[in-house]
Chains A and B, each alone.
Chain A
């Protein structure tokens, strides 16, 4: 289990935990990010302050803080 901000671009996995507080948690959920859904890390900005992930056809941009609160069980991505 590791947080999204520990992943590199192209990393994929299943979401196992979302630590964010309400109402951000609810927002993430209504965008389709929820325990058990698949997630792929698509991009981050140069300073890694903003991240882009994809889940079930939806692409979502989030800040480091929010990204760090999402944990995935990675599969098929290096380190």
Chain B
């Protein structure tokens, strides 16, 4: 099959990912702020005997890339092989988008222009003249609305058509004084075999006038460099004097700005100016005084709902799994298989799935934050506050994503330009409790706090994690990374009504992933835990106790003895031995060996903490289904140890998936090593402190 490779490029938040979703039915992540897509993603579609590969690139404001995720896009555009560029622009902000379009057109590749969000412009009474734009730019133009699925199907037809036809002639020319200098540079470039192609040479010449340092590095190693360097020096000086500007890059910018203005003048009928919904909402939501309290209220509400609504179906789910486990016991013959299912896998998986509703509510909150455009406002509101801790407002976006899952949050840190800001943010991201830790918190809160306060306690846990993160960021900034945080310049998108379809889809994907994880990873882990806790068999212990049990008559004593036997057996198991070995580490925190094992197992994934506790406290009792895990915890764990456990979970290393993402994103060995050690040490110290303070307070 013939292949066409298409690069989808454009400024951030113009709807690139939405367009791919709407053409292909893909499920790329979409959100109403800049920097949602931070890594390129390929999507394939077949049509008319072609296999078309569309690459969704991170949004990029200009070819003079700024942040790491923009470099991903720039490198793709400059270095990869592809057949054509599809450039998406936002009809609402056409003129600044067209400035980037002209930079792309300088590349002299086949190109299609997509003017997206046309629905919003038209609703306000404006319009875009497609024919006029095509005429002026000399490339095909399609008006679309990814939201209303308008015009998007034309895109694929146009891709095929453009691919089959020759590239139309370039229509973008600059001021003749600039063109004359471009010509001179091209002449020198032609002397090198690399730049024989006149289109490519023109592009390189323009990039040199744009002061693109990467291009400069490329020519630096060529034999023509000396001649070129001398020529460029003269040209820079000449043009700067001629145009009375500081740098040729400013001259090029002014040129494109003027061209874009002219284009918009011809092709856009602007909507009449009026006070928009966004303006009115912002009057309140980012009000100098009320803005922050409103934000805190939203966060509080989210955790309140997470706990309150999430706990409604919890008991049914729990009861369901207990039933299932009893059913297995009734149906299967007694033995290892019955036991591994009824005592190992089913309670463990059940103990996790119970929390699915909580997790979905949390993700719903984060998704709404992303979709409405409020996310960018929180960055604005908190920038001053974050600055005190040596970070900048934009860092707040990955931090908030961290409440959902740490993995995409590490990726989102790419939107921070300054490597120092980025590494500090990534080092403290683990303190933003992810949704996988939610089950542990909800379980422990349920066991040790009155229900009426549960939502507040949850809120406090999350906020303390965030505050700790900020303090650690400050310390890191003071000790390891001197210097100022990067400048804060960020686009504030208009508010958009969240798409219920996108929300439902997101929750569906999250639920599927969660159930899959519970059914595979968690089930597997709990099976291992069960085997380790059931073997080796202890015939002596059993024989010893059986004798005793036979000897007594009283039923109560019999039960007591039976429980003691099971507990002794568990302690002698492999897991018991492991637990005893690591117990000394956790003893100062008041943990018994079972909690110690659960904490260590939680390094694989935080849900495993709960499932391990469920297994260990279940097999530790003869009469297994009579108690809920919550009751068992109350009987076995002290209040201060429970709080110490919460503190540990809050701070220590995140799961394996998150750790490997960190490793992939941070190449320096020193940071990798530091990252593996310090959260665990800090977690232990903090838990130790809290445990002892609570002790002094008389708990």
Residue numbers of A with Cβ under 8 A of B are 22-32, 34-37, 42-47, 49-50, 52, 56-63, 65-66
Nearest first, the 4 A-B pairs at minimum CB distance are: A49-B384, A32-B96, A30-B62, A59-B492
Q: Digit string of B270-287 for contact with A (CB within 8 Å is 1, else 0)?
A: 000000001100100010
Contact of A52 (CB < 8 Å), options: B249, B257, B380, B387: B380
- Determine the chain A residues whose CB is within 8 A of the CB of B211 once the complex forms: 22
Contact of B491 with A by CB under 8 A: yes
Closest to B64 in A: A26
The minimal Cβ–Cβ distance linking A71 to chain B, given in whole angstroms, is 15
Complex CA gap A42/B287 in Å reads 10
> Are B96 and A62 closer than 8 Å at their CB atoms?
no
A50 touches B254 (CB 8 A): no
Could you say which residues of chain A place their CB within 8 Å of the CB of B392? 63
Given A26-B64, A34-B257, A58-B93, verify A45-B489 contact (CB < 8 Å). Answer: no
For residue B527, CB closer than 8 A to chain A, the reply is no
Taking a contact as CB atoms under 8 Å apart, the answer to whether A26 and B253 are in contact is yes
Shortest Cβ distance from residue A10 to the other chain B in the assembled complex, whole angstroms:
11
Complex CA gap A52/B96 in Å reads: 18
A31 contacts B253, C-beta separation under 8 Å: no
B96 with A42: CB separation less than 8 A? no
Identify 23 residue pairs between A and B in the complex whose beta-carbon atoms are under 8 Å apart, listed by A's number: A26-B64, A26-B66, A27-B66, A27-B489, A28-B489, A30-B64, A30-B99, A31-B491, A32-B96, A36-B257, A42-B282, A43-B282, A43-B286, A43-B288, A46-B384, A47-B384, A56-B96, A58-B96, A58-B491, A59-B491, A60-B490, A63-B383, A65-B487
- Contact between B96 and A30, CB atoms less than 8 A apart: yes
CB nearest to A46 among chain B residues? B288
Quick check: is B381 within 8 A (CB to CB) of the other chain?
yes
Contact status of A45 and B291, CB under 8 A, knowing A58-B491, A59-B491, A62-B489: yes
- Looking at the complex, which one of B11, B100, B253, B487 makes contact with A24 (CB distance below 8 Å)? B487
| Chain B residues with a Cβ under 8 A of chain A | 11, 61-62, 64, 66, 92-93, 95-96, 99-100, 211, 247, 249-250, 253-254, 257, 278-279, 282, 286, 288-289, 291, 376, 379-381, 383-384, 387, 392-393, 487-494
User: B247 contacts which chain A residues (CB < 8 A)?
Assistant: 22
CA distance in complex: A43, B278 (Å): 13
A30 to B66, CA, bound (A): 11
Contact partner, A31, options B254, B279, B286, B489, Cβ 8 Å: B489
Q: How far is the CA of A28 from the CA of B490 in the complex (A)?
A: 9
Instruction: Please report whether the interface of chain A is mostly helix, strand, loop or mixed according to DSSP.
Output: mixed
* Structural contact, A50 and B488, CB atoms closer than 8 A: yes
A25 to B487, CA, bound (A): 11
Question: Is the Cβ of A49 less than 8 Å from the Cβ of B286?
Answer: no
CB distance from B263 to the nearest CB of A (A): 13
Q: Is the CB of A49 within 8 A of B383?
A: yes
Known: A22-B249, A45-B288, A50-B383. Is A66-B64 also a contact (CB below 8 A)?
no
Q: For A63, what are the chain B residues with a Cβ–Cβ distance below 8 Å?
A: 383, 387, 392, 487-489
B213 to chain A, nearest CB (A): 10
Flag if A34 contacts B254 (CB, 8 Å): yes
B355 to chain A, nearest CB (A): 36
- Chain B neighbourhood of A24, CB < 8 A: 487, 489
Q: Nearest Cβ distance between residue B550 and chain A, in whole angstroms?
A: 77
Q: Given A27-B489, A61-B489, A65-B487, are A56 and B384 also a contact pair (CB < 8 Å)?
A: no
A30-B289 CB under 8 A given contacts A45-B380, A61-B488, A61-B489: no
- Alpha-carbon gap, A60 to B282, bound state (A): 13
B685 to A: closest C-beta gap in Å? 33
User: Bound state CA distance, A58 and B438, in angstroms?
Assistant: 38
| Cα–Cα, bound, A34→B257 (Å) | 8
CA distance A34 to B24 in the complex (A): 38
- Kindly state the separation between the CA atoms of A25 and B211 in the bound complex, as whole angstroms: 13
| Chain B positions within 8 Å of A23 at CB level | 64, 66
CB distance from A66 to the nearest CB of B (A): 5
Inter-chain CA distance A47–B288, complex, in Å, is: 8
